[in-house]
Every structure is written in C-alpha cells, then in structure tokens.
C-alpha cells in the first residue's frame, strides 16, 4: 500500500502538468492557420511522396551504399514503431486525451475522429525523431549544421500531435527519446560498415 501511495504521489504532478500543457497547446496557443495545416502536417500520407523520393534518390545515386542507407532509414521506423506499439503502448495502456472519459471534454479535437489504440508513446514522434537522427548522423559531415533542421521537421510533426488533441506532451517526449535511440542504433551500424557520405562523388557503388 505504501508503494502504491508513493507511485501515485510521484505520477500525479506529472499527469497534472501533462494535461495543463496539452490544454495550452491544444486550446490556447492556437490560430486559424495551424488549425488548417497541422492536421495535414502530422498525416503520414502527406509525407509519403517525400520518403519515397529519398529512398529512390539514395538507391539511384549511391548504388549499394544507398540501398543499405535506405534499409537503415526504413529499419529505424520499423524498430521505433514496433517497440512503441508493442512494448510501451501495450505496457502502459494510457488512453489518448481525446478518448479519456474524464478529460476528453477539455480537448479540442481537430480530426474527424479520435484515433484508436493507446497514447504512450507517440509513434509519430518516435518515427520522425528516429528518421531525423539517422539522417543527421549519416550526413552530418556533408551538410554540417544545416542537417540539424531535420530535428525541426520532426518537432513540428510531433507538436501537431498535441495540437490536434491525440497525444500528451510526455507521449511526445517518450516517443522522441525512443526514436532518437533507434535512429542512433541504425546510424551506428551503417557508418561502421559504409562510413560517411561525400556528395562530390555520387557513385559510391
């Protein structure tokens, strides 16, 4: 009983902060432009052509090295998505804010319906922070500081998840950490076998 009481007292302020910040993002720090664009921005289908282009570009221009890079790019998503869905979501079984019967009335849902499944961690955050990390670590020596804009892209996609009302901030933080570790793992494996890229020579076959 003492352990349970300590656990509740530990998580309660985190849960209260989570809900307070979500309400700020979802209902107060809003504008009509974000209301229109962010539901599309967080949609995986919206980004699918870009991902396909990147994979094809790498395979065509870098040959075998590019194919292995594309496999690492894809593998990052598979690892982050699987761990997020099978380990964290099934383990914690936290309801999404828009599905929580005690909290959903405070959520401004900007989608046609609240997604099914559980909330922690955010797979969108995990996948995109994973991809950002993989890209940064494998191209850092080529694009220098510009490559870090990949994290800004991942941040806005993750932020959109809170803005539309389907994830709490801690869902995003947990997903971002999971994705970063997944991207770093595949980047380490790729660089160990293939080294880094040099865009002055697009025929590393």
Tens digit of each residue's pLDDT (9 = 90 or more) over 78-103: 999 999 999 999 999 999 999 999 99
DSSP classification of residue 100? -
- In the chain, the percentage of residues whose pLDDT exceeds 70 is 90
CA distance 165 to 144: 35
Give me the pLDDT at residue 180, please: 98
How many Cα neighbours within 13 Å face the side chain of 5?
A: 2
Q: Which of 65-69, 120-124, 194-198, 199-203 has the lowest mean pLDDT?
A: 199-203
- Cα–Cα distance measured from residue 127 to residue 145, given in angstroms and rounded to the nearest whole number: 22
Q: Report domain extents, the chain.
A: 52-110+119-195
What's the CA gap between 73 and 81, in Å, rounded?
13
Tokens 């293939």 label which residue?
194
Burial pattern 50-83, b for ≥16 Cβ within 10 A else e, equals: eeeeebeebbeebeebbebbbbbbebbbebbbeb
d(C-alpha 67, C-alpha 90), whole Å: 33
User: Mean pLDDT, to the nearest integer, of 118-127?
Assistant: 94
For residue 92, with 0-12 CB atoms within 10 Å meaning exposed, 13-18 middle and 19 or more buried, which class applies? middle
Q: What is the mean pLDDT of residues 125-150?
A: 88
């Amino acid at each position: 009983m003492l352990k349970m009481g300590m656990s509740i007292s530990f998580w309660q302020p985190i849960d209260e902060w989570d809900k307070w910040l979500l309400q700020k993002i979802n209902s107060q720090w809003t504008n009509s432009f974000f209301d229109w664009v962010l539901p599309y921005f967080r949609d995986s289908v919206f980004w699918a052509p870009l991902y396909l282009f990147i994979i094809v570009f790498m395979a065509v221009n870098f040959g075998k090295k590019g194919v292995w890079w594309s496999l690492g790019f894809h593998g990052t998503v598979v690892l982050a998505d699987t761990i997020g869905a099978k380990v964290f979501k099934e383990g914690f079984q936290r309801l999404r804010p828009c599905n929580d019967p005690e909290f959903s009335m405070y959520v401004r849902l900007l989608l046609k319906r609240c997604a099914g499944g559980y909330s922690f961690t955010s797979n969108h955050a995990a996948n995109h922070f994973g991809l950002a990390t993989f890209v940064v670590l494998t191209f850092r020596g080529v694009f220098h500081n510009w490559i870090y804009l990949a994290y800004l892209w991942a941040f806005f996609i993750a932020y959109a998840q809170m803005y539309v009302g389907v994830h709490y901030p801690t869902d995003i933080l947990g997903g971002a950490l999971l994705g970063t570790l997944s991207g770093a793992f595949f980047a380490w494996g790729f660089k160990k076998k293939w080294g880094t890229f040099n865009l002055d020579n697009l025929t590393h076959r």
